[in-house]
């Protein structure tokens, strides 16, 4: 599916651009630091990551909406963060970057009707509210309904996510790679 897609867009969380611009504008010069009293050079931190990651995801989601408006279909590919070392080399990604998300775009083979998505336990007012057993039963029922006919027995969808994703080797690889990417983000 990925190899055959006419477009595969990768959305990179990018602070290398800013570091280069700061350097270009002379912000790291001792003279600049002395004259302005500003802090000396530092690597991007997790605060910078929070903003830059949101920028990347906003761009990706806008691409989803634009593709949809043109009658195209798309699928997010979170797996792009895996095999960090190889992907960094393949795309020539410098320090202070992370490829957070990939989007493949193509022409849908057939129109798929919109499916009603679960809404129970999704929005919290004022404070985070942990679901009680009754709420979780309702949530599980909604999820099973969405994934019928695959979900046959109560809780099948939750168990499916646990076995196919939460405990899968690909998720272990994603976590290993994300540690690598965070080191790259911090310039280590």
Q: What is the C-alpha separation between 137 and 133, in angstroms, rounded?
A: 6
Produce one character per residue of 6-27: b if its CB has 16 or more CB atoms within 10 Å, e if not.
Answer: eeebbbbbbbbeebeeeeeeeb
Produce one character per residue of 44-64: b if its CB has 16 or more CB atoms within 10 Å, e if not.
Answer: beeebbeebbeebeeebeebb
Write down the least CB distance from residue 64 to ligand FMN, Å: 9
**Tokens, residue 67:** 């593709």
Q: Name which of 74 and 97 has its Cβ closer to ligand FMN.
A: 74
* Spatial contact of 17 and 93, defined as CB atoms under 8 Å apart: no
Would you put residue 124 in left (φ > 0), alpha (ψ -120 to 50) or beta?
Answer: beta
Q: Name which of 40 and 108 has its Cβ closer to ligand FMN.
A: 108
- The footprint of ligand FMN (CB under 6 A) covers 75-79
Residue of closest CB approach to ligand FMN? 78
Write down the least CB distance from residue 22 to ligand FMN, Å: 31
Write down the least CB distance from residue 36 to ligand FMN, Å: 40
Q: Name which of 164 and 183 has its Cβ closer to ligand FMN.
A: 164
Write down the least CB distance from residue 183 to ligand FMN, Å: 22
Write down the least CB distance from residue 47 to ligand FMN, Å: 22
Q: Name which of 79 and 173 has its Cβ closer to ligand FMN.
A: 79
Q: Name which of 28 and 76 has its Cβ closer to ligand FMN.
A: 76
Q: Which helix (H) or strand (E) holds 103?
A: strand 97-106
């Amino acid at each position: 599916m990925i190899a055959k897609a006419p477009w595969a867009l990768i959305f990179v969380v990018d602070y290398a651009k800013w570091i280069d611009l700061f350097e270009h504008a002379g912000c790291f010069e001792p003279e600049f630091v002395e004259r302005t009293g500003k802090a000396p050079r530092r690597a991007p931190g997790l605060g910078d990551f929070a903003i830059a990651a949101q920028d990347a995801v906003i761009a990706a989601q806008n691409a989803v909406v634009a593709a949809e408006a043109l009658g195209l279909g798309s699928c997010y590919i979170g797996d792009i963060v895996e095999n960090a070392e190889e992907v960094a080399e393949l795309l020539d990604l410098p320090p202070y970057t992370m490829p957070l998300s990939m989007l493949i775009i193509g022409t849908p083979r057939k129109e798929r009707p919109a499916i009603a998505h679960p809404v129970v336990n999704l929005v919290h007012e004022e404070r985070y509210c942990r679901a009680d057993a009754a709420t979780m039963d309702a949530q599980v029922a909604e999820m099973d309904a969405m994934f019928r006919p695959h979900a046959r027995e109560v809780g099948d969808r939750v168990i499916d996510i646990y076995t196919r994703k939460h405990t899968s080797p690909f998720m272990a690889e994603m976590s290993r790679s994300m540690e690598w990417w965070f080191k790259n983000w911090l310039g280590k």
